[in-house]
Each structure stands twice: as structure tokens, then as C-alpha cells.
Amino acid sequence: MDSQTKTENCLGWAATDPTGVLSPYKFSRRPLGSDDVSIKITHCGVCYADVIWSRNMLGDSIYPLVPGHEIAGIVKEVGSNVQGIKVGDHVGVGTYVNSCRNCEYCNDGIEVQCVKGPVFTFNHIDVDGTVTKGGYSSHIVVHERCCFKIPSNYPLASAAPLLCAGITVYTPMMRYNMNQPGKSLGVIGLGGLGCCSNRVGSV
């Protein structure tokens, strides 16, 4: 089912100025397109990037700003062209929600390196000119290529942080073939990324 002319009201938590204080905020998500997935958000991890942009620490925040890019939830609607994802599936959304989908990087499945730049999950201008709003909200609509299936027996609360912290360490480890027997992994510091590195590296 497509709802290409129907927007849906959404409840989120937004910063409205550089104090970064979050307060309830009502807004509309874009209509569901034929290649889109609508997700009921059940969990969203907290990343320091949420603080950085909520407080306008880089000088480019667009208010009102709904942060959150470690999103886990349950599919509530899919577009007519979507394959491999169905209503009721557990899914995750990470740091980006769109890209050109035509360049060599997008065609290789590494949309985060899109030559035109990926569209980030919050505080970014989407292809339709609207400002993206993140996972501190009741639901989100994304292109299916930015939606990742999560096993139904894996806790969504545990999955959410893996969509940023987890993939940040997993990607270079796979790029440099750290999953091969006999490889050694050095981890400096045991913060969020360090702990993820240790956990992923020990599997």
C-alpha cells in the first residue's frame, strides 16, 4: 500500500535552541512512497552526536531539531515496490536515510559514501527539500535501502546502539579482513566504541 499524498502526524522530542533542552514536538512525516518503509520506533540509542547538534556546537543546527540515529522498531507499512521487508518485521535505521542511489558507491551498497553525499537521519536536507528528523520520535519513513532487518529473537533495545557505534567499528574490521583466523586486534580505550570493538572482535 502506498500513501504518497498522505502525511502522518508524529510525536517527537526536539531541541528548539542551542540550550539543547528537548521538549515534546508534533510534526508530520513525509508520505510513504513506493520504495519506502514506515517504522514504529520502539527504541533509539543516545549518541554524543545528538548532543552536538542539539546544542549547535558545529554551528549548522536547524531548529526545531529532533535527534536520534540509532533506531530500532517494527515495520508498520511498506510501499508497493518494497521486497524483503514486510509489516511486522524488526528493523533498524542508522545514520543516513537517503542517497542518490545511482552512483558507483550506492550501487555497491555503500550509500554512506555517495558522491552526492548521504542524507543523514536528522538535521539534514532530504532530496525533497525537507529537513530530516531523527529517532527521538514515534515513527519514521525511510527508503528501503536504509532499513536493515533485525532477527526477531534479538532484543531491539540491544540492537539500536549497533546502528551507529556497532557499525562504526564493524565496517573497518570487515574492510581489513579482521574476521580471518590468526588476526590480532588492538583496541585503545574502552568507551562505547572500544567495548563494541572488543565484543565484535571476540566473535
Q: What is the pLDDT of residue 43?
A: 98
The residues pairing with 41 across neighbouring beta strands, listed in sequence order, are 73
Confidence at residue 147, expressed as pLDDT on a 0 to 100 scale: 93
pLDDT at 173: 86
- pLDDT at position 98 is 92
List CB contacts of 13: < 8 A, sequence separation 6 or more: 22, 23, 24, 25, 66, 136, 137
Mean pLDDT, rounded, of the chain: 92
For range 94-108, the mean pLDDT: 92
Q: pLDDT tens for residues 39-65?
A: 999 999 999 999 999 999 999 999 999
pLDDT computed for residue 1 by the predictor: 46
Residue 6 pLDDT exceeds 60: yes
**Tell me: the pLDDT tens digits for 11-49?**
999 999 999 999 999 999 999 999 999 999 999 999 999
Question: Based on C-alpha coordinates, what's the Rg of the chain?
Answer: 17
- Domain assignments of the chain as residue spans, ordered by start: 8-160, 164-203
Classify domain 8-160 at the CATH topology level: Quinone Oxidoreductase; Chain A, domain 1 (3.90.180)
Contact predicate 121/134, CB 8 Å: yes
Could you tell me if 74 and 182 are in contact, meaning their C-beta atoms sit under 8 angstroms apart?
A: no
* pLDDT class of 128 with cuts at 50, 70, 90: confident
User: Does pLDDT of 68 surpass 50?
Assistant: yes
**pTM of the full predicted structure?**
0.88
Query: Comparing 171 with 149, which gets the higher pLDDT?
Result: 149
pLDDT of 189: 86
Burial class (CB in 10 A: 0-12, 13-18, 19+), 9: exposed
Chain centre distance of CA 141: 11
Compute CA distances 127 → 26, 132, 185, whole Å.
Answer: 22, 10, 39
